[in-house]
Amino acid sequence: MGFGTTVCGDVWRLPQSQLWACVEQCEKTGCVGETCFQHCKFSSDGKPVGGPWYLQEPLYLRWKQWDCHSDCRYHCMLVREEEREKHGGKPVKYHGKWPFHRAYGFQEPVSVALSALNLAIQFHGWVSFFILIYYKLPLTPSKKTYYEYTGLWHIYGILSMNLWFWSAVFHSRDVELTEKLDCSSAVALLGFSLILAVLRAFSMRDEAARVMVSAPIIAFVTTHILYLNFFNLDYGLNMKVCVAMGVAQLLIWAVWASATRHPSRFKLWVAVIGGGLAMLLEIYDFPPYQGYVDAHALWHATTIPLTYLWWSFAKDDAEFRTSSLLKKAK
């Protein structure tokens, strides 16, 4: 993607050439205005002055791998945005991403913090579900759970924690590898969540039926992930695929919630409606407030209470199904 420009009443437009000229000048001089970078200074033989650039940063910043080019591009972007603001322009995206302000080496500090919090909530939900299933609810004589969807929820928990881990990594340092891992993890979780919705809503307990439902979805998700990683990281296509899978599972849960007499259907309704509203933040984007909080960060914030509620529903469902099966066995 190229650099975008926004015209405010056709009063002012900063050419792309000025941004690239700023980056080129920075790489030669090592400075953008009064801000200078030690790792942009090279000796006559082309080697960095003071040793490799990654040894010139504070220890807590070295793993981020900010080099001369990335630092120059970042600070030139900030200068450009300051000039746009002075002339009445609005923020624009650079390579498809809004301009964020770094904090302590983190590229999008608010999204990183919220991703980490989501990871913690997912871990808490999964562990509490595990404890309930294996230590609080009765087990079969063969030490297996009565709840037929235990394995599905375990996989869901693992995929969810995997997603939020890579989300935190990606928002702390946006490079091609972390972006692909973040996108792939999101697609994998959405695909499996769709499988979980179909199997639970239609009460599919037969293994053959489960395989017939899961196989085509797994094949589609795998193909899409391979396409994104090895052919073309198409943001538009990926957004359409993710929204389609998200809407499909929300509709399935909504129909089931309206038809079932499950004791926790109210929690399910809140999760469905909340999930639908939260999805709007992913579709209707807006620039980051004060350079820190954008629509995506707010989406991360909304998923925290929804995640807690979702795992509460999963535990209620396990208790409900276990109780029902024990009554039938008597």
Q: What is the pTM of this model?
A: 0.85
Question: Which residues of the chain carry a pLDDT beneath 50?
Answer: 1-15, 44, 53-55, 63
Instruction: Report the pLDDT value the prediction gives residue 115, as an integer from 0 to 100.
Output: 97
Condensed to tens digits (0 to 9), the pLDDT of residues 79-117 reads: 888 887 777 778 877 766 778 888 877 889 999 999 999
Instruction: Report the pLDDT value the prediction gives residue 2, as an integer from 0 to 100.
Output: 35
- Token digits of residue 253: 């849960």
Instruction: Report the pLDDT value the prediction gives residue 11, as an integer from 0 to 100.
Output: 30
